[in-house]
Chains A and B, each alone.
Chain A
Amino acid sequence: QKEVEQDPGPLSVPEGAIVSLNCTYSNSAFQYFMWYRQYSRKGPELLMYTYSSGNKEDGRFTAQVDKSSKYISLFIRDSQPSDSATYLCAMGGRSGTYKYIFGTGTRLKVLA
């Protein structure tokens, strides 16, 4: 079983839709959960960073962590064409290591 699994998409939605992006993971030792946005030929840009189970909201973005199910989600409300990008989940915080483990990324296209 892969450490972090993420549906690669692509996911196409109309402008204004609510987008739901998800990742599952197998290692319960992960403590930190991140969502990065990556535009073509650019680096991962940090969107959300969460530690505990529950929800964290920032503008149109909500990150949700369910440690008991080993499942994280990113919701984008009122999606815009400028949200079209690849969204990467990443996990870290295991004892003794600083490295992040990334999902494959989900390609999102928001249609005007």
Chain B
Amino acid sequence: EPEVTQTPSHQVTQMGQEVILRCVPISNHLYFYWYRQILGQKVEFLVSFYNNEISEKSEIFDDQFSVERPDGSNFTLKIRSTKLEDSAMYFCASSDWDLNQPQHFGDGTRLSIL
């Protein structure tokens, strides 16, 4: 069964450094998302991306965050200057051709900021 793949599985970064989280969505999907889950808290929406542009972002997704689809298969989340509070699991998700189709999630990247 097709799946969303994320790399790396664990990223350790010094505070203030830039980090890029990578995702390969399911190949025929058109909508892409990032969510995060701080330890012990809910999964929360960060951003959605369609047709090479951001379609929606949450208040968490400030100027330190950016997303990109650099080629036909990858979808990346960049955090420019990481803070301690950015430590969380980051999940990529994708969905098919419209809003009616469910979102499928990858196994996440655990980001630890030191």
Interface residues of A (CB under 8 A from B): 32, 34, 36, 41-46, 49, 51, 88, 90, 92-93, 97-105
Contact = CB atoms under 8 A, between A and B. Distances in A.
B102 interface: yes
Interface of B: 4, 6, 31, 33, 35, 41-45, 48, 50, 55-56, 58, 91, 95, 99-100, 102-108, 110
A97 B99 CA distance: 9
B43 A88 contact: yes
B102 A49 contact: yes
Q: Which 3 A-B pairs have the closest CB atoms?
A: A99-B45, A43-B105, A102-B43
Nearest to A39: B107
B107 A99 contact: no
Given A43-B108, A44-B91, A100 B56 contact: no
A44 B48 contact: no
Contacts of A100: 35, 43, 45, 103
B2 to A, nearest CB: 12
Contact of B48 (A32, A42, A99): A99
11 contacts: A32-B100, A36-B105, A43-B91, A46-B102, A46-B103, A92-B103, A98-B48, A99-B48, A99-B56, A100-B43, A100-B103
A102 B55 contact: no
